[in-house]
Structure 1
């Protein structure tokens, strides 16, 4: 079964609009909490460009796993890894904006049994019914990214 993904130009416009809403509202509009077993939340991830050294921000869906936040680096089905994931690989100490404020986190890729357990959380949500088709379309393993709270 083919993944039901909107055309890439539409996705890019939606991402740009979402980032603009967050910027104009001071992140008061555009973020959401996840609802266990029902829907993912929305966060804004702040990274530093691995080559440019400039601040970057991206809006992502996420789930909670205890104190950790979990995101998928699926790049909307595109075979290339998203730039934000490449930035995290280079500099894993980042921050996220959530409903309620900013949090400092350390990013890492989940592997093995942990990866499969976390993917199960996503597969249990209606929004991710095409997850395996999206992964197959990418033609490469999709990183499951764990954002762990940084301890001071």
Structure 2
């Protein structure tokens, strides 16, 4: 879908330092609220910016409790790409550390829940998918510059192919 005028305006504003900081504070709770009110069909960011938002539920690395975060999820067939930009802040987002501690997670896309396994991308594969993110949301280009002290992680979420009884583990496909 081609971005509308409002979508372009919101996306441009999110690529400015003051607004990125502001959105970093208000976007997650606002997205959760709209998501809940729309019964999982939309988020504030999907309405205002026209971006593909998924709800990612991880297991807290320190607490062991479920943590749900709205994120820009770039679809790639049955998989999704996540960019851990944290709005260009100096540190990685909490959800990234949660996935490092336990790569199994749940995502909700268009009201459908899916079990996934996260893999951190490296090298040319990471760069290719980061550029795909920049093509969807130009703010990622600015975020890369603001977070120059760190390499922004890029993760790929693949369907979890563990057995229903939980007896097996998902391995990285070749």
Q: Which residue pairs with 1:79 in the alignment?
A: 90
Cα displacement (A) at 1:7: 5.1
Partner of 1:148: 158
- Consecutive unaligned residues of structure 2, counting only runs of 5 or more, are 1-14, 163-174
In 2, the alpha carbon distance for the partners of 1:10 and 1:117 equals 26
Name the counterpart of 1:42: 53
2:123 to 97, 112, 118: 112
Question: Taking structure 2 as the reference length, what is the TM-score of the superposition?
Answer: 0.73
Which structure: greater strand fraction? 1
> How many matched pairs?
143
RMSD: 2.2
More contact order relative to length (CA 8 Å, sep ≥ 6)? 1
Structure of higher CA gyration radius:
2
4+ residue runs of structure 1 moved beyond 6 angstroms?
A: none
The answer (yes or no) to whether the contact 2:27–2:45 under 8 Å persists in 1 is: no
Aligned counterparts, 1:126-137, within 5 A: 127-128=137-138, 130-137=139-146
- 1:82-129 per-position Cα deviation (integer Å, ceiling 9, x unaligned): 00000000011111000140110000111111111112212223x32x
Establish whether residue 28 from structure 1 lines up as the match of residue 37 from structure 2.
Answer: no
Structure with greater helix percent: 2
Normalised to the residue count of structure 1, the TM-score between the two structures is 0.83
Which structure 1 segments of 5+ residues have no match?
34-38
Aligned pair in 2 of structure 1 residues 9, 131: CA closer, same or farther (>3 Å)? closer
